[in-house]
Amino acid sequence: MKSIFIRLALGLMLFVNANAAPMLTLAVLDFQNNSGNPELDYLEKALAEMLVTNLGASQKLTLVERMRLASILEEHQLSLSGSIDEASAAKIGQLIGADHLLFGTIFESGETIRIDARICNATTGKIILAEKQEINSAAEIIDGIDLLARTLLKKLTKETIQFYEPLPGGKFLPKAGKVLAINCLLDNPYKLQHSNEPSYLLINLNAGELQRNQSRIPLNICMVLDRSGSMAAENKLEFVKKAALFVVDNLNQDDYFSLVSYDTDVYPTLPSDHLILKEALKSKIEALQPGSATNLSGGLLEGYAQVKTHFAEGYVNRVLLLSDGLANEGITAPDQLQKIAADKNSTGFTLSTFGVGDDFNEDLMVNLAEFGGANYYFIDSPDKIPQIFSNELQGLLSVVAQNARIEIQLEPGVQFLELFGYRYSQENNRITISLNDIFSKEEKSILIKLQCDAAEIGEHPLLAVKMIYDDVVISNSRLTEAFQRAIAITTDQALIAKHTNPIVLENIVLFESARLLDEAMTNVDRRDFAKARESIASNQTYLQKNVSFQSSKRLKQQLLNVMRYAEETQQAEKMETQDFERMQKRSKFENYQQKKKR
């Protein structure tokens, strides 16, 4: 009887295998940029890599590894992209052992990017599947590629696959009666005995949404505008004036507003006061004219002086500094300017900076915002100035928490290695991070890298975290939330594998990639292109490995940014100075936004 059941089981297995759909072997070639826009050249390889990542989720496809594919085609002097006819399709398929090829083209019409994708039978060269996807902005590229991949899989293999898994526990939202959701997450609460691997703590803050019926806190702000001679170019000063007019229109009589303009000299154009006679103020703004040099320090110090006139707790006390050039009058040393911003920040004044065009020092403007405790913006086109000022103002008009800071106390024997995301101060085993104002629906992430002794089995205290802030919306009081975190040393590797936190891992990859990209950009600034390319290649390999491991839209966006920068640095040595400067500023700003999760 037993042998009969065995024979029946074997027969059933053979029947299933004989009738199961065979695995398809697919090679994804580079796409071809037929848009006429060289800024889209990076998508030729980026689209292929993103599609490989998505299609790799299929249970019915075997994908040809892209590095192997490129190596074989290069050896036989065949292109990795372009039009595929029947003869070349058969030759490529035979060389790489693929029965299907995926390739396509990129077109552009106005603001719309169109991706045409085709799959052909590598034996016959016949197109068996063609799809297109239209994308209306660069921000939609990842979603567009995902939708294209889902459509291709559905038609080719009949599979329906979602590429992003929900985060464990869902989205972090504040509990009832709270303006902030604060989470302290370890990459793993367990560590292998005698391991030298570091541990990571992610502090994640999510602000609640300010409701329309909730009163906002008043503003005390000063706009500091560069009116040097270069601001006449491209109507930059006219756009800046529109931004100032927009700010005036959106403030009310409870707010204090001032405006300082500067060239060689400094002009307190509108001294700090309540916004009552708006039309008279607008006339003064519209009368501004371009002048001579760039006394950035003078304008900055006068901006702080104006805010100080009506400085008060319970207000947003901020300077908004805008410049299109290099500081060449007054204090020009970056370290001295940064010290001014840091000193003022420590006493309650925050600073946001706005860099316009190609000539300003982006590293200085980023650092002024970092030391000043607020935001940095790169404005590559003057017509974007009003919208970017609108974004900053909307944040200022929706503050839910103020004077926020995080205090971390390390336990004895725990070594602090690195902190990603924000500036910090350290005194012995205490680390302090100032976050100042937190806006409605804002997310902030701080990642801390630690090392602890893993010699003794058992649970060991790691650190204590305090989040201290003023709730200015619900309780109108100063609040403290405290957390303790410990790590358990074990020999059970299965236990460790089971408790790895994907949210923390995503942040580790993002911050590490951002660090590598900063490193590459510094080398490009130094014109050390060989070293920059090494760093970019390492970054790309690192991201591709982790994008495949984790279904993360943020990691895909970072990979897209890195691949674009890789393409641009290939051309950087031949670029005109203006194009080179713009490329660097835009890339640094995108990397800054990734680190700040904006």
**Both tokens assigned to 544:** 């591709």
What pLDDT, on a 0 to 100 scale, did the predictor assign at position 7?
43
CA angle 172, 448, 438 (to 5 degrees): 45
Average pLDDT over residues 106-119: 92
Average pLDDT over residues 562-566: 94
Average pLDDT over residues 34-51: 91
**Both tokens assigned to 37:** 């826009």
Return d(Cα 547, Cα 543) in angstroms, integer: 6
Q: What is the pLDDT of residues 310-337, one digit of tens each?
A: 999 889 999 999 998 888 889 999 999 9
Helices vs strands, H then E, count in the chain = 16, 22
Rounded percentage of the chain residues whose pLDDT exceeds 90: 63
Cβ contacts of 31 within 8 Å, gap of 6 or more? 43, 44, 47, 48, 81, 103, 104, 105, 106, 115, 117
Return d(Cα 123, Cα 100) in angstroms, integer: 8
> What rounded mean pLDDT belongs to the chain?
89
3-class SS string, 307-357? HHHCCCCCCEEEEEEEECCCCCCCCCCHHHHHHHHHHHHHCCCEEEEEEEC
Residue 480's SS3 state is: strand
Average pLDDT over residues 347-351: 95
Give the H/E segment covering residue 99.
none
Return d(Cα 594, Cα 556) in angstroms, integer: 12
State the pLDDT confidence band at 531, using cuts at 50, 70 and 90: very high
Helix axes 553-572, 502-525, angle to 10 degrees: 10
Q: Please give the single-letter amino acid code of residue 505.
A: L
Counted residue by residue, the chain has a size of: 598
Q: What is the pLDDT of residues 461-489, one digit of tens each?
A: 999 999 999 999 999 999 999 999 999 99
**Both tokens assigned to 228:** 């040097």
What pLDDT, on a 0 to 100 scale, did the predictor assign at position 15?
42
Residue whose C-alpha is closest to residue 468's, from 427, 431, 436: 436
Sheet holding 458-471, edge to edge: 190-192, 477-490, 458-471, 399-410, 430-439, 425-427
Residue 88 has pLDDT above 60, yes or no: yes
What pLDDT, on a 0 to 100 scale, did the predictor assign at position 72?
81
Rounded percentage of the chain residues whose pLDDT exceeds 70: 93
What pLDDT, on a 0 to 100 scale, did the predictor assign at position 240?
85
What pLDDT, on a 0 to 100 scale, did the predictor assign at position 548?
72
What pLDDT, on a 0 to 100 scale, did the predictor assign at position 70?
79
Q: What is the pLDDT of residues 1-31, one digit of tens each?
A: 444 434 434 444 444 444 445 688 999 999 9
**Both tokens assigned to 530:** 């060989």
- Signed CA dihedral, 311, 369, 331, 389: sign only: negative
Q: Please give the single-letter amino acid code of residue 426.
A: Q
Specify the pTM.
0.88
State the pLDDT confidence band at 241, using cuts at 50, 70 and 90: confident
Residue whose C-alpha is closest to residue 469's, from 215, 205, 185, 214: 205
Residue 212 has pLDDT above 80, yes or no: no
What pLDDT, on a 0 to 100 scale, did the predictor assign at position 3?
45
Average pLDDT over residues 264-273: 93
Average pLDDT over residues 190-212: 93
What count of Cα atoms within 13 Å lies in the side-chain half-sphere of residue 213? 0
Give the H/E segment covering residue 283.
helix 278-286
Average pLDDT over residues 509-532: 95
**Both tokens assigned to 267:** 């002009």
Among 83-92, 110-119, 296-305, 416-425, the least confident range: 83-92
- For residue 122, what is the DSSP state? T
